[in-house]
Amino acid sequence: MDARSTMTGRGAARSGGQRGGGAARTGSTAGSSLRISPPRRDFVPLGHESAKFESMREPYYAALGEIFGMGYSTEDYIHNFPCFTGHQTLLRFLNLYELYRKVGDVAGHIGEIGVYKGACSLFFAKLVHLFEPHSMTVVHGFDTFDGNRGQTGRDIGIKAGGYREPVERVRRLIEVQGLSHILHLHQMDVVRSLRKFLREHPSLQFKLILLDAGIYSVVRTALPLIWERVTPGGIVVLDQYNFEVAPGETVAVREVLPNARVRTLSPAWMPTAYIVKPGDTP
């Protein structure tokens, strides 16, 4: 069971895999279950793809209440995380790992547009630390850290202000884990500033980019700029392609890369799709 079955947006796993605000807990002694209220949603479920997993939402939070009442320590949740993480959250990171491995022999860096709490960017940074300790590869994360904004009529499922996270906390999370030399955060509105940033960094090339914003204006602006900097054989990952909650992402991809072969991983959940830049195929 996994709350992320019904979620979308930026970042990655929360406790047990939820997105949006934290679940409310009442109750509280070891050995007794807690009542866990599902978190607020930062999107509007519209009844198609999101409805496919809706039946898993309440059982997931019921199970979470049982788990939180079992007396596990914070260290248990971290070091024994497969005991608690929802299966679809686990699948998300297995898919990201598979995509990372596909570009193992492609030159370039890794990027994420839509960092939120930093889970995916930190995951990639740790993969680089493990598998590329002597390479030039680093991770670049782009976000306003000010929540969703700039929505248009193409973003009917996304709530304004959702997925807000203090950038100072994300930076501190990176620092305390000794990953500041690998993961670089760029607090910016990519719609206004990405072109200038890339112009100021002409050597910057990417082998893997995760588009995890879902907003039309962000994807429509960033995708053509980033595509020019993706090394042939590199991959652009689409977190919410073909998903009713963030239709702007699909529309933007259709406009920018109308003839692209959009692929998916199997088994797939999120990210929902990816595109390999023509050239040496991973």
- Given a cut of 50, whether residue 8 has pLDDT beyond it is no
pTM of the model: 0.84
pLDDT tens per residue, range 121-165: 999 999 999 999 999 999 999 999 997 766 666 766 666 667 889
- Of 10-19, 120-129, 187-196, which gets the smallest average pLDDT? 10-19
Which CATH superfamily is 89-276 part of?
Vaccinia Virus protein VP39 (3.40.50.150)
In which band, very low, low, confident or very high, does the pLDDT at 4 lie, cut at 50, 70 and 90? Answer: very low
The residues that bridge with 158 in the sheet, in sequence order, are 43
Pick from 246, 237, 229: nearest CA to 98? 237
What are the domain boundaries of the chain? Answer: 3-86, 89-276
